[in-house]
């Protein structure tokens, strides 16, 4: 402990690092990157699976609400080909908008959007994982 600051610096300057130190550090960094990418891929895959389940649930809900509100009846009337539909198209359109199950539509579209987003990110991170593994 009686060394001066200058002697300590001189002694540190003579220390030689391991020849493979850089390769070892880069290998550890690559393993950590691979682990993070795999973790993201699994997370986004779980999110996509959850969103798929939410799509099924919201689709069932949308179907039930459309039956209860009479939306499907107005919709089938619009495609019936009856001449009265063309005369009263404004009233039919207003009835369709009024009876539309908006909450079910919003839930289904939200789940679909999250499914597409999660699926795309899962695919991207899976590709990154395979690219890192081959590099």
**pLDDT per residue over 57-116, tens digit each?**
999 999 999 999 888 888 888 788 777 778 888 888 898 889 999 999 999 999 999 999
Q: For 117, left (φ over 0), alpha (ψ -120 to 50), or beta? A: alpha
User: Does residue 2 surpass a pLDDT of 90?
Assistant: no
The better pLDDT of the pair 130, 40 is held by 40
Q: CA dihedral in degrees (124, 113, 110, 49; nearest 10)?
A: -50
Residue 1 has pLDDT above 60, yes or no: no
Q: Say how far apart CA 25 and CA 127 lie, in whole Å.
A: 24
Structure tokens at 94: 């207003």
User: Within 14-101, where are the H helices?
Assistant: 21-69, 71-78, 83-87, 89-99
Do the beta carbons of residue 37 and residue 125 sit within 8 Å? yes
Predicted model pTM: 0.71
- Residue-wise pLDDT tens digits, 23-44: 999 889 988 988 999 999 999 9
């Amino acid at each position: 402990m009686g060394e001066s600051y200058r002697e300590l610096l001189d002694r540190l300057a003579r220390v030689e690092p391991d020849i493979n130190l850089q390769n070892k550090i880069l290998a550890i960094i690559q393993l950590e990157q691979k682990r993070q990418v795999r973790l993201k891929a699994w997370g986004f895959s779980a999110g996509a699976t959850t969103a798929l389940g939410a799509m099924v649930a919201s689709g069932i809900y949308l179907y039930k609400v459309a039956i209860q509100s009479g939306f499907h009846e107005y919709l089938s009337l619009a495609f019936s080909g009856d001449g009265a539909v063309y005369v009263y198209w404004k009233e039919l359109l207003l009835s369709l908008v009024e009876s539309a199950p908006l909450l079910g539509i919003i839930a289904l579209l939200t789940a679909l959007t999250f499914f597409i987003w999660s699926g795309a990110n899962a695919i991207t991170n899976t590709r990154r994982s395979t690219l890192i593994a081959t590099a």
